C-alpha cells in the first residue's frame, strides 16, 4: 500500500499538477471523464481534485464560450514527457483539435508541475511558464496544493496566487465535488 503524498516541498519530487479545462460541448462531463482517464492511465495516482470554476476565455478568438477550469494533484513516478503523452492521448480521445492557438476546445489538459522536474523544449515546458500569472489556473491549484513550492520560483502556490489581481467576476466557483460520476443535469 502506498502512503499518501504529503504535498509540502519535501515531497516535491513526486507531486504532479494538471490543469483541466473545457469550453465546448458537455464541459463538465468531459472533464469528469478526463479525471477518470488520468486515474485509470497508470501514469499517476490522483490524490485531490479542485472545485470547478467557470471563467472567461483568455487569449484566442473573441467569440469563444466560457471555460470550466479545475486542477488535480497526483503523484507519479513517470517523467514529464511520459505524462504529457498520456494527457495528449486523453485529449485526442475527447476530439481535441489543435488548430487555433488558445482557441475553443473540448478538453485541455496542461501539465503544470511534474515534481521538481524542469523541462524547456519546443514540445514541453515544465513548470508551465505562465501558470503563476493566471488566476483561472492558480485558484484551482491552491484548492489542491496551496503549500506546494514552485520548483523554479521557490514560492508556494498560495503566495503566487495572492499576488494576482482580482477582477470582479473573473472566476466563479460552480461546483465543489464535481469530479464524481454524475448525470449531466447535476453539474453545469
The owner of cell 492557438 is 101
Q: Is residue 174 part of a domain?
A: no
Q: Is residue 86 part of a domain?
A: yes
Q: Is residue 183 part of a domain?
A: no
What confidence score (pLDDT) does residue 183 get? 42
Would you call 32 a catalytic residue per the annotation?
no
What confidence score (pLDDT) does residue 96 get? 54
Q: Is residue 94 part of a domain?
A: yes
Contact 144, 5 (CB under 8 A): no
What confidence score (pLDDT) does residue 60 get? 59
Q: Is residue 184 part of a domain?
A: no
- 114: nearest Cα among 84, 141, 134, 143: 84
What confidence score (pLDDT) does residue 5 get? 40
What confidence score (pLDDT) does residue 95 get? 67
Would you call 29 a catalytic residue per the annotation?
no
Q: Is residue 128 part of a domain?
A: yes
What confidence score (pLDDT) does residue 184 get? 41
Quote the pTM value: 0.85
pLDDT above 80 for 6: no
The owner of cell 470582479 is 168
What confidence score (pLDDT) does residue 168 get? 83
27, 32, 108, 135: the catalytic one is 108
Would you call 85 a catalytic residue per the annotation?
no
What confidence score (pLDDT) does residue 185 get? 38
51, 105, 134, 135: the catalytic one is 105
The whole domain housing 35 covers 9-168
Q: Is residue 180 part of a domain?
A: no
Would you call 155 a catalytic residue per the annotation?
no
110, 116, 155, 170: the catalytic one is 110
Q: What's the CATH number where 77 sits?
A: 3.30.70.560
What's the chain's average pLDDT?
A: 84
Q: Is residue 173 part of a domain?
A: no
Domain tally, the chain: 1
Amino acid at each position: 500500500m502506498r502512503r499518501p503524498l504529503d504535498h509540502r516541498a519535501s515531497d516535491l519530487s513526486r507531486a504532479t499538477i494538471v490543469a483541466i479545462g473545457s469550453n465546448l460541448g458537455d464541459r463538465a462531463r468531459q472533464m469528469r471523464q478526463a479525471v477518470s482517464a488520468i486515474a485509470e492511465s497508470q501514469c499517476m495516482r490522483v490524490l485531490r481534485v479542485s472545485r470547478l470554476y467557470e471563467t472567461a476565455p483568455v487569449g484566442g478568438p473573441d467569440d469563444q464560450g466560457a471555460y470550466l477550469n479545475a486542477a488535480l494533484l497526483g503523484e507519479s513516478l513517470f517523467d514529464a514527457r511520459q505524462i504529457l503523452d498520456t494527457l495528449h492521448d486523453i485529449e485526442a480521445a475527447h476530439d481535441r483539435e489543435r488548430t487555433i492557438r488558445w482557441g475553443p476546445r473540448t478538453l485541455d489538459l496542461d501539465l503544470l508541475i511534474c515534481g521538481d522536474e524542469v523541462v524547456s523544449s519546443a514540445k514541453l515546458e515544465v513548470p508551465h511558464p505562465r501558470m503563476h500569472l493566471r488566476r483561472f489556473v492558480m485558484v484551482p491549484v491552491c484548492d489542491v496544493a496551496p503549500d506546494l513550492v514552485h520548483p523554479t520560483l521557490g514560492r508556494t502556490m498560495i503566495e503566487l496566487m495572492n499576488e494576482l489581481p482580482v477582477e470582479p467576476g473573473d472566476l466563479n466557483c460552480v461546483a465543489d465535488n464535481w469530479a464524481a460520476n454524475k448525470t449531466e443535469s447535476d453539474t453545469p
